[in-house]
Structures are given as C-alpha cells and as structure tokens.
C-alpha cells in the first residue's frame, strides 16, 4: 500500500511546475534524506516521460529538454555536495548546547573566515596564478623541506610570491587574444578588496539589525519555549542535543533578565577605580614595550640576515627569529591581560571579555602597525633585488609560525592546564575557553593575510589549510579540556563586535597599507609585474592613455577621470558608508 502511495505522490509531483514541486517537497513532514530520495525519483519520472514523448517532439526541443534536465541534475548534485561540506554544522550545534552562545560565537566567526579565504583563493588563483602558469619558467632551485617554515629557497621561484610574476602581456597564440598581467594583477587585487569591503559592510549591517535593532524578532523567550521544537527529529541523540541547546539558550536569556548589579561602598568604588586604572597602565605599558622590542628586532633582522646573505637558506631560516619572538609576545601577553581581568572583578563575563578584547586589539594592531612601517619604509628602501618578495616571505613566516603557536597554545594552555587542574592542583578545576584571546588571534592572522595578498597572492590558500586544522583542533581541545562558562550569559551581540573589529581597525588599516604600496612606493626594477614603473598605479594610468585613442572606450576614460581620480566622489562615498 505504501509503495503505491509513493508512486502516486511521485506522479503528482512530476506533473507540477518546478516552483510548485519545490514548495510541495519542502512542506512534507519528512527528513531531509527522505525528501532528497523523493526529489530524485521525481526527476527520474520526468526524464522517463520526456523519453515517451520524444517521438512527437522535434530534435531541437528534445535537445533543450535534455539540457534542462542535465542542468537540473547538476544543480541537485551541487547542492548535495555543498550539503556534505556542512559537516561543521553538527559540530556547531554540539558546541552551542554544551558551552553556550559565547563560545559558539568564536567557532561561527572562524567558519565565516574560512569561507572568506576560500573565496579569496579562488579569485586570485583564477585571474592571477593560472595565467602565470602559461608564461612560467622552470624552477631550477632544489627543495629541501625547510622552505615550508621559511618560505624562502625553492618557493622564491614559484607563483607563491609577487617577484615570480611576469610584466609581459601573455599570448598563447600569435596575433590572438592577449592577457595583460599588470592590469590583471592590480585589478584582481583591487576588485577583491572592493568585494571584501561590501561583504563586511553587509555582514555587519545584517548582524547589527538582528542583534541590536530588533533582537526580539529573532530570539523571543516565549517563541523559544513554545515554537522552536523541530518535530522532524526522531534520532534519540539529536533529540537530547536539541533539548540541551534550548535549555542553554533559555538559561542565558534568564540570566540576562535577572542580572544582579553589585553595589560598592565609596571606599570600594575608589579601590575598584584604582585597580582598573593600574590595569590599563600595565596593559598599555606592556603593549608599548612589545612594540619597541619588535621594532628593534626587525631593523636588526634586516641588517644581519638580508643584506649579508640574500640567497643563503640558513640565513633565511635565521629570519624565523622575528616571527617567533612576535608570536611569543602575542601568546604570553594576552595571558597577562586575562590575569589582570580576574583582578578587576567585572560585574558580568561580557564586560571582562570586551575589556580583554580591547587590550588585545591594541597590542596586536600596534605590532602589525610597527611591522607595516618596517616593511614599507625600511625593507622597501633596502638594497634587496626584490623587496616585494622579501615582504611576502616575511608575512608567510609570520602566518606559519602563528599557526604553530596556535596549536601549541591549545596544548599548553588548555591540555596541560586540565592535567594540572585535575591532578596537581584540584582547586583550579578545568580551564574555561578564552574567547577574547582566541578571537583576536584570528583577526591578527587575517590582517596579515590581507596585507600579504598583494605580495603573495596564494596566502589565502595557506589560510584555508590553517583555519581548517585550527577549527578541529580547537573543537577537540574544547570538548576534552575545557568546562562551560561558570556564569551562563547570552552574547547575541558578540558576532557583531567581531565583525566590527575585523572591519575597523583591521580591514581599513590594510586598505591604507595597500594604498601606500600601490600609489607611493617604487616597484623593484628586476622582478614582478610592475618592474620598471614609477609606481604600481602607473600601469593603470598608462592603460587609460591607450584607451583615450579608442572611441568605444571613452566611457571608461570618463569614469577614470570623473570618479576614480575624484576626491569629491570618494568623500561622498565615505560619507554614505559611514
């Protein structure tokens, strides 16, 4: 009986229009797996009917129908493939149920950055790297394995770095279509940053609207209690996970409603203010000392290891000293900030996290600022044959070393801390997941990746590998070593704050660095697509001069003179955005 009912259902769905069929399948009270099976049977039924009518149809109509069915099948296969990529979704649900939205916000942010870097890699690889393969010369350097850490040696003569790219117009066929690598390089990077700018603005606006302007529309307490159960769930584990998730969310909402305000005496307030003031002086002084140390080490790093031994692999390995010391500072100082936060005794966990994030962002962005000054003012003015590749190698080393320290931080900061807290000093207990420190680590390394994209176009590919490993290492470490926050609290606004910090000062600062590189600095004479030009932007100016001779391209020239080079246009655009 069930077989004939399903056959009737498939026949009815096959006779519907595509939009009606999709809506009907979506409304079925079945699991996603069952819905996919029904959809595939419907498509087979449609294909069978089209074959029966093939004798009455013209050849052209049959071809069109075949193409339509093929595209439909391809689309379904693609959607199923992307569904398989959502394996992290279950992980996020487990984390949200066990540790609450505060810890979950970190993993959502990490997953978002991973998607962002996949998009970056596809753009750069498609429009910059693939054309370069056509004009690439064989690499005569030997691979030793040390390059994986230093980024030097064999990698120096590959598409990983700016210096390897040609300044010629690539043409595979004589008198055929050509590919201008100079324009492709600058326009691909420029368009990528424009798209990043728009994506960040849209993501911030969407998150701000959801969490600040109309939060109750998305997370009403009554609706959570009465209307959020999914009756399609039949698996016992899934049911328990859903119950735990809802329970955690309701606890967070109730904690926010019943939040206690601590009352202090006059003496207590004075002591509290003094502790806050001393903590801020200590944190800012530590950041200043760290920046001074990084600047001193970077200038000596250039003098000792670059000028004397430009192509010596061992001396390039010695340049790991700067990223190792910087990563040590970025790992140890945030632990000091967390200790200061515990001394200050904030009223809510949210205040503690936001203050810790502020101190960390000051530290990390100050260090990035010192490094940018070093790269753009000292390395760019050095006697190196290809200073752009040198900067790209430096950033590669920073990203690789930071990744290693991130893994070591999970081992020493969480695993060993758990061992100590459960065996040696039981009063310590299990550690809590440090959201502020971990989020700022992500923003720091993403900032370096954005800066390095111009000097090493394939850096997003390295970040894809890095973020994928970090996601699963942090997830395992969280489940094995950490305990849920002692105070349950809701952090609906935290993702918005992460987006804002990624936008400012991170992304806007990167735009300033790229702007100085493109407009102000002179490219190397012997390497890269812009060799021999007064500035990288001169490639665009020369192209516009060529277009002025063609009537069909007058509109491009008009846009360039009236918009791209107009201060008024950018002033109005900035006003609208801000």
SS3 string, 287-355, reads HHHHHHHHHHHHHHHHHHHCCCCCCCHHHHHHCCHHHHHHHHHHHHHHHHHHHHHHHHCCCCHHHHHHH
474 CB contacts (<8 Å, ≥6 apart)? 106, 107, 110, 410, 438
Helix axes 349-373, 266-305, angle to 10 degrees: 30
3-state secondary structure 262-285: CCCCHHHHHHHHHHHHHHHHHHHH
Q: Please tell me the predicted confidence (pLDDT) of residue 249.
A: 61
Question: Quick check: 10 pLDDT over 90?
Answer: no
Q: Averaging pLDDT over each range in 32-46, 79-93, 359-373, which range is the top one?
A: 359-373
The DSSP bridge partners found for residue 483 are 432
Q: Over the stretch 483-511, which tens digit does the pLDDT of each residue have?
A: 877 655 555 567 778 888 889 889 999 99
Mean pLDDT lowest among 81-85, 250-254, 472-476: 81-85
Q: Over the stretch 113-123, which tens digit does the pLDDT of each residue have?
A: 998 899 999 99
Q: Where does the pLDDT of residue 519 fall: very low under 50, low under 70, confident under 90, or very high at 90 and above?
A: very high
Q: Please tell me the predicted confidence (pLDDT) of residue 24.
A: 82
Which of helix, strand or coil describes residue 160? coil
Q: Please tell me the predicted confidence (pLDDT) of residue 453.
A: 95
Question: Quick check: 527 pLDDT over 80?
Answer: yes
Q: Which of 415, 436, 407, 429 is nearest to 479 (CA)?
A: 415
489 CB contacts (<8 Å, ≥6 apart)? 100, 102, 252, 255, 256, 348, 349, 350
Question: Quick check: 161 pLDDT over 80?
Answer: yes
Question: First and final CA of the chain: distance in angstroms?
Answer: 64
C-alpha–C-alpha distance, residues 376 and 371, integer Å? 9
Which of helix, strand or coil describes residue 180? strand
Q: Please tell me the predicted confidence (pLDDT) of residue 294.
A: 93
Q: Where does the pLDDT of residue 308 fall: very low under 50, low under 70, confident under 90, or very high at 90 and above?
A: very low
Handedness of CA 8, 14, 20, 26 (dihedral sign): positive
Q: Where does the pLDDT of residue 84 fall: very low under 50, low under 70, confident under 90, or very high at 90 and above?
A: very low
Rg value, the chain, Cα:
28
Q: Please tell me the predicted confidence (pLDDT) of residue 309.
A: 47
C-alpha–C-alpha distance, residues 319 and 278, integer Å? 36
Please check whether residue 327 is in contact with residue 402, taking contact to mean a CB–CB distance below 8 angstroms: yes
The residue that leads in pLDDT, 531 or 61, is 531
Q: Please tell me the predicted confidence (pLDDT) of residue 81.
A: 47
Q: Over the chain, what is the mean pLDDT?
A: 80
Question: Quick check: 215 pLDDT over 70?
Answer: no
Here the tokens at position 139 are: 């690499």
Q: Averaging pLDDT over each range in 122-136, 163-177, 552-566, which range is the top one?
A: 122-136
How many of the other CB atoms lie within 10 Å of CB of 336? 14
C-alpha–C-alpha distance, residues 455 and 534, integer Å? 18
Q: Please tell me the predicted confidence (pLDDT) of residue 4.
A: 56
533 CB contacts (<8 Å, ≥6 apart)? 523, 539
Q: Please tell me the predicted confidence (pLDDT) of residue 346.
A: 77
Q: What is the DSSP letter of 534?
A: S
371 CB contacts (<8 Å, ≥6 apart)? 294, 298, 326, 394, 398
426 CB contacts (<8 Å, ≥6 apart)? none
For strand 169-170 and strand 179-180, is the pairing parallel, antiparallel, or unpaired? antiparallel
Torsion of the alpha carbons at 222, 223, 229 and 230, rounded to the nearest 10: 180
Q: Please tell me the predicted confidence (pLDDT) of residue 57.
A: 47
Can you spell out the DSSP letters for 47-67?
A: HHHHHHTGGGS-HHHHHHHHH
The residue that leads in pLDDT, 448 or 16, is 448
Q: Over the stretch 265-293, which tens digit does the pLDDT of each residue have?
A: 778 788 888 998 999 999 999 999 999 99
C-alpha–C-alpha distance, residues 396 and 390, integer Å? 10
Q: Which of 520, 510, 509 is nearest to 459 (CA)?
A: 510
Which of helix, strand or coil describes residue 528? coil
Please check whether residue 229 is in contact with residue 242, taking contact to mean a CB–CB distance below 8 angstroms: yes
Share of the chain above pLDDT 90, in %: 30
Q: Is 162 exposed, middle or buried (0-12, 13-18, 19+ CB in 10 A)?
A: buried
H-run or E-run covering 173: none
Please check whether residue 266 is in contact with residue 320, taking contact to mean a CB–CB distance below 8 angstroms: no
Question: Quick check: 566 pLDDT over 50?
Answer: yes
Question: Quick check: 54 pLDDT over 60?
Answer: no
Q: Where does the pLDDT of residue 295 fall: very low under 50, low under 70, confident under 90, or very high at 90 and above?
A: very high
Q: Please tell me the predicted confidence (pLDDT) of residue 286.
A: 95
C-alpha–C-alpha distance, residues 10 and 51, integer Å? 17
Q: Over the stretch 408-447, which tens digit does the pLDDT of each residue have?
A: 888 887 888 888 888 888 777 888 888 878 888 999 999 9
Q: Please tell me the predicted confidence (pLDDT) of residue 404.
A: 94
Residue ranges per domain, the chain?
A: 1-30, 96-533, 534-577
Can you spell out the DSSP letters for 545-571?
A: HHHTT-GGGHHHHHHIIIIIT-HHHHH
Q: Averaging pLDDT over each range in 57-66, 67-76, 187-196, 405-414, which range is the top one?
A: 187-196
Q: Over the stretch 367-401, which tens digit does the pLDDT of each residue have?
A: 999 999 999 998 898 877 889 999 999 999 999 99
């Amino acid at each position: 009986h069930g077989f004939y009912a399903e056959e009737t259902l498939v026949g009815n769905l096959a006779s519907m229009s595509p939009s009606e069929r999709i809506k009907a399948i979506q409304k079925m009270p079945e699991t996603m797996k069952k819905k996919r099976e029904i959809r595939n049977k419907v498509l087979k039924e449609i294909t069978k009917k089209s074959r029966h009518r093939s004798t009455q149809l013209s050849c052209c109509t049959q071809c069109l129908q075949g193409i339509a069915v093929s595209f439909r099948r391809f689309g379904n296969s693609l959607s199923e493939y992307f569904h398989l990529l959502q394996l992290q979704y279950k992980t996020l649900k487990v984390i949200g149920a066990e540790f609450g939205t505060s810890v979950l916000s970190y993993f959502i942010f990490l997953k978002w950055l991973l998607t962002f870097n996949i998009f970056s890699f596809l753009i750069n690889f498609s429009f910059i790297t693939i054309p370069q393969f056509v004009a690439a010369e064989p690499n005569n350097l030997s691979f030793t394995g040390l390059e994986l850490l230093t980024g030097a040696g064999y990698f120096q003569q590959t598409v990983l770095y700016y210096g390897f790219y040609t300044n010629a117009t690539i043409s595979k066929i004589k008198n055929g279509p050509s590919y201008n690598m100079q324009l492709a390089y600058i326009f691909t990077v420029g368009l990528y940053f424009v798209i990043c700018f728009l994506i960040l603005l849209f993501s911030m606006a969407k998150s701000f609207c959801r969490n600040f302007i109309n939060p109750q529309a998305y997370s009403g307490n009554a609706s959570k209690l009465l209307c959020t159960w999914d009756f399609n769930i039949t698996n016992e584990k899934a049911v328990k996970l859903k119950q735990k998730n809802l329970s955690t969310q309701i606890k967070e909402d109730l904690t926010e409603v019943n939040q206690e305000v601590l009352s202090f005496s006059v003496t207590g307030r004075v002591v509290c203010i003094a502790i806050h003031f001393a903590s801020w002086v200590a944190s800012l002084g530590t950041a200043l000392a760290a920046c001074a140390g990084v600047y001193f080490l970077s200038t000596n790093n250039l003098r000792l290891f670059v000028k004397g031994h430009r192509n010596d692999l061992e001396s390039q390995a010695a340049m790991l000293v700067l990223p190792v010391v910087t990563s040590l500072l970025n790992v140890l100082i945030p632990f000091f900030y967390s200790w200061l936060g515990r001394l200050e005794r904030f009223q809510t966990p949210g205040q503690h996290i936001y203050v810790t994030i502020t101190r960390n962002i000051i530290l990390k962005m100050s260090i990035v600022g010192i490094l940018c000054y070093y790269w753009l003012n000292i390395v760019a003015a050095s006697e190196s044959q290809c200073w752009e590749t040198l900067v790209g190698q430096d950033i590669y080393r920073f990203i690789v070393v930071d990744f290693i320290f991130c893994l070591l931080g999970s081992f020493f900061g969480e695993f060993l801390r758990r061992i100590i807290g459960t065996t040696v000093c039981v009063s310590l207990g299990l550690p809590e997941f440090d959201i502020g420190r971990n989020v700022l680590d992500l923003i720091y390394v993403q900032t370096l990746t954005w800066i390095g994209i111009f000097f090493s176009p394939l850096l997003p590919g390295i970040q894809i590998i890095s973020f994928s490993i970090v996601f699963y290492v942090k997830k395992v470490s969280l489940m094995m070593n950490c305990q849920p926050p002692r105070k349950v609290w809701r952090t609906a606004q935290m993702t918005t704050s992460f987006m804002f910090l990624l936008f400012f000062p991170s992304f806007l600062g990167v735009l300033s660095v790229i702007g100085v590189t493109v407009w102000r600095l002179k490219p190397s004479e012997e390497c890269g697509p812009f060799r021999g030009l007064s500035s990288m932007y001169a490639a665009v100016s020369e192209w516009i001069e060529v277009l002025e001779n063609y009537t069909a391209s007058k509109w491009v020239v008009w846009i360039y003179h009236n918009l791209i080079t107009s201060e008024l246009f950018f002033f109005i655009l900035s006003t609208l955005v801000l």
